[in-house]
C-alpha cells in the first residue's frame, strides 16, 4: 500500500494547479492572437493634443457623431447596422471613448467635462462643424457638457437611455 504524505500531496496539487494556470494563459494568448489577426479594428487613430483617439470616419455630407456608453465601444453601433443606414446620407464619426476600445484614458480623475473638452478638440482636428451628436448611456453627460460649452456648435442632440444629472468621476 502506497501512502501519500500530506506535504507531498500539497506539492503535487500546487504543481498541477500551476500547470493548469500556465496552460490557460497560453491558450488565452493564442486565442487573443487569432482573434486580433482575423478581426481588424475599424477606422484609425487621430492625435489630439497628445492623446490618441480611435475614430472611424465614413460617408459624406452633414456630420453625425455617435458616442457609445460605458462598457462598450464603437463597434456596438456597427453591430446594429445604424452606421450603414446613416452613411447613405451623412458623414458618420464613431469614437472609442477614452478608456474603452482602442482609445486609452489618462490617469487621474476623468469627468464628462474633461471628456467633452477632448471631444471638442477632436471634432476641431477633424474639421467637423455643427454635427448632430447621438450619445448613449453615460456618454449623454459628455454630450450635454459639449452642448453647454458651445450651444451653437451642435446642429442637434439625440440622447439615448442617458444619465442626465452629474455625479462623481468614472
Instruction: Give tens-digit pLDDT for 111-120.
Output: 999 999 999 9
Domain locations in the chain? Answer: 1-40, 44-160
Please tell me the CATH superfamily of domain 44-160, with its number: Alpha/Beta hydrolase fold, catalytic domain (3.40.50.1820)
Q: Beta strands 63-67 and 91-95: pairing type?
A: parallel
- What are 13-33's pLDDT values in tens digits? 888 988 999 999 999 988 888
Q: Return the axis-axis angle of helices 139-149 and 112-125, rounded to nearest 10°.
A: 70
Task: Name the average pLDDT for the chain.
Answer: 88
Helix, strand, coil percentages in the chain from 3-state DSSP, rounded to 5: 40, 20, 40
- The reported pTM is 0.75
CA–CA dist 111, 139 (Å, integer): 11
Q: Which residue has the higher pLDDT, 9 or 148?
A: 148
Buried b (16+ CB within 10 A) or exposed e, 46-61: bebeebebbbbebbee
pLDDT for 169? 59
Amino acid at each position: 500500500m502506497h501512502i501519500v504524505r500530506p506535504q507531498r500531496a500539497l506539492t503535487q496539487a500546487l504543481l498541477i494547479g500551476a500547470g493548469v494556470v500556465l496552460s490557460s494563459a497560453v491558450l488565452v494568448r493564442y486565442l487573443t492572437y487569432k482573434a486580433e489577426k482575423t478581426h481588424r479594428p475599424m477606422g484609425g487613430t487621430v492625435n489630439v493634443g497628445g492623446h490618441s483617439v480611435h475614430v472611424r470616419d465614413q460617408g459624406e455630407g452633414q456630420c453625425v457623431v455617435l458616442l457609445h456608453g460605458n462598457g462598450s465601444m464603437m463597434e456596438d453601433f456597427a453591430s446594429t447596422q445604424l452606421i450603414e443606414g446613416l452613411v447613405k446620407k451623412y458623414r458618420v464619426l464613431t469614437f472609442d471613448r477614452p478608456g474603452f476600445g482602442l482609445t486609452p484614458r489618462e490617469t487621474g480623475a476623468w469627468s464628462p467635462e474633461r471628456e467633452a473638452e477632448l471631444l471638442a478638440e477632436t471634432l476641431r482636428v477633424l474639421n467637423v462643424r455643427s454635427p448632430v451628436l447621438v450619445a448613449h448611456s453615460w456618454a449623454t453627460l459628455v454630450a450635454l457638457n459639449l452642448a453647454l460649452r458651445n450651444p451653437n456648435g451642435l446642429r442637434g442632440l439625440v440622447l439615448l437611455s442617458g444619465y442626465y444629472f452629474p455625479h462623481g468621476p468614472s
